[in-house]
A and B are shown apart, each in its own frame.
Chain A
Amino acid sequence: MKRAQIQLGETIFTVIILILLFVFGLVFYSGSRERGTDRQETLLQDLDAIAISKYVGALSELQCSSLQVRRANCLNMLKLDGFVRFRQERPDLFTPYYFTQLGNAMVRVDEIYPSTQSWVLYNNTLGETPRRVSSSLIPVSIHNPVLDRHSFAILTLEQYYR
């Protein structure tokens, strides 16, 4: 083999090694970026679940009020009954409006003390199995305005992502 051919072989070998190093670096970097992006996405989805459950807890069509002053962390039992009835009787009006606010989610209020009772306020699950479910639990008080009693309940929000 001539000297020039040996030098050419060396150059080609070096270039191949460099390309391999570059590709490995790129794969490692993109994998690391992807993992970071996934974690950030999860974090944002969890924060979104909290924001939406706070939004549901602050809906004026559900929240307790006295002399036009709203009370935080409190839902009116009669308003809950009315809300559920409206959802069941007029899905044509209910679903399009609340879909823009809540998306693919399930919102439920479970009374824990003194009695046990549940209200499914919104249920719009994905047809297919969701890729991820982000959930949020918020303790809320349910006020019965007839008896003027407060009970202890949990507002559960499950948000589904494709």
Chain B
Amino acid sequence: MKRAQIEIIGLVFIVLILSIALLIYVSSTTSRELTDTGDQLYKSFSSNELATGFIQTLLQTHSSTCQATVEEMVIDCGRTRSSLRCGFSRTSCDVAEQLISSLVDDTLDVWGMPFHFTILYRPGHNITFNSFDCAPDVVGTSAPGVFLLPYFPDSGVARITMGFCS
């Protein structure tokens, strides 16, 4: 074999090794990106499950003070003519706010989960709870769980949103 032929074979060999190394690097990066996407999807899915489950359960919960569910209290609070009386001149708004605050303290705060929770009764009238400065506009906040409660037969809806920050 001539010297030139041997050098060409060596060159081909080096190119082959570099190609394999590049292939391994690309495959490893792609696999990492896929796992990252899976992680994000899982976080988004589990946050949304927790948010919707939390709101759904919260709305069904009976208050021992008001003899009404949170859903009934929120609707009563948002309507122009409040009809629920919760003792000691407390309104349904006060009792609902206190109950939500206590449930959030006993669950999400204990678990150390950064969250934001808002009830928008009507423009300019809302209550918000959050932890670790988590807000809907913070980067990394999951898509929130949203519930709408109509004030039927009155007009308008209460909008309840809850989301988590990563």
Q: Cα distance A74–B10 when bound, in Å?
A: 71
**Across the interface, do B62 and A40 meet the contact criterion of CB distance under 8 Å?**
no
B11 contacts the other chain (CB 8 A)? no
Contact with B along A66-102 (1 / 0, CB 8 A): 0000001110000000000000000000000000000
**Across the interface, do B61 and A152 meet the contact criterion of CB distance under 8 Å?**
yes
Contact of B107 among A33, A39, A139 (CB under 8 A): A139
Q: Cα distance A127–B64 when bound, in Å?
A: 43
**Across the interface, do A141 and B102 meet the contact criterion of CB distance under 8 Å?**
no
Interface size on A, residues (CB 8 A): 32
**Across the interface, do B107 and A112 meet the contact criterion of CB distance under 8 Å?**
yes
Interface size grouping (class) on chain B: 20 to 34
B57 to chain A, nearest CB (A): 4
A138 contacts the other chain (CB 8 A)? yes
Whether A114 touches B50, Cβ cut-off 8 Å, given contacts A25-B21, A141-B57, is no
A3 contacts the other chain (CB 8 A)? no
Whether A36 touches B31, Cβ cut-off 8 Å, given contacts A73-B53, A73-B56, is yes
Q: Cα distance A35–B21 when bound, in Å?
A: 19
**Across the interface, do A137 and B111 meet the contact criterion of CB distance under 8 Å?**
yes
A162 contacts the other chain (CB 8 A)? no
**Across the interface, do A140 and B57 meet the contact criterion of CB distance under 8 Å?**
yes
A94 to chain B, nearest CB (A): 27
B15 contacts the other chain (CB 8 A)? no
Chain B positions within 8 Å of A141 at CB level: 56-57, 60-61
**Across the interface, do B103 and A152 meet the contact criterion of CB distance under 8 Å?**
yes
**Across the interface, do A139 and B53 meet the contact criterion of CB distance under 8 Å?**
yes
Chain B positions within 8 Å of A74 at CB level: 60
B28 contacts the other chain (CB 8 A)? yes
Stretch at the interface among B32-40, B84-92, B132-140: B32-40
B99 contacts the other chain (CB 8 A)? yes
A59 contacts the other chain (CB 8 A)? no
Contact of B50 among A40, A139, A151, A153 (CB under 8 A): A139
**Across the interface, do B38 and A40 meet the contact criterion of CB distance under 8 Å?**
yes
Chain A positions within 8 Å of B54 at CB level: 139
Q: Cα distance A153–B54 when bound, in Å?
A: 10
Contact of B42 among A29, A46, A112, A114 (CB under 8 A): A46
Q: Cα distance A72–B60 when bound, in Å?
A: 11
Q: Cα distance A122–B99 when bound, in Å?
A: 30
A16 contacts the other chain (CB 8 A)? no
**Across the interface, do A36 and B32 meet the contact criterion of CB distance under 8 Å?**
yes
A21 contacts the other chain (CB 8 A)? yes
Contact with B along A111-152 (1 / 0, CB 8 A): 011100000000000000000000011111100000001111
B7 contacts the other chain (CB 8 A)? no
Given contacts A40-B38, A113-B103, 4 further A-B contacts (CB under 8 A): A29-B24, A36-B35, A139-B50, A154-B107
Task: Offer 12 A-B interface pairs, CB within 8 angstroms, sorted by A.
Answer: A29-B24, A40-B38, A43-B39, A46-B46, A50-B45, A112-B106, A112-B107, A139-B50, A139-B58, A139-B107, A140-B53, A151-B62
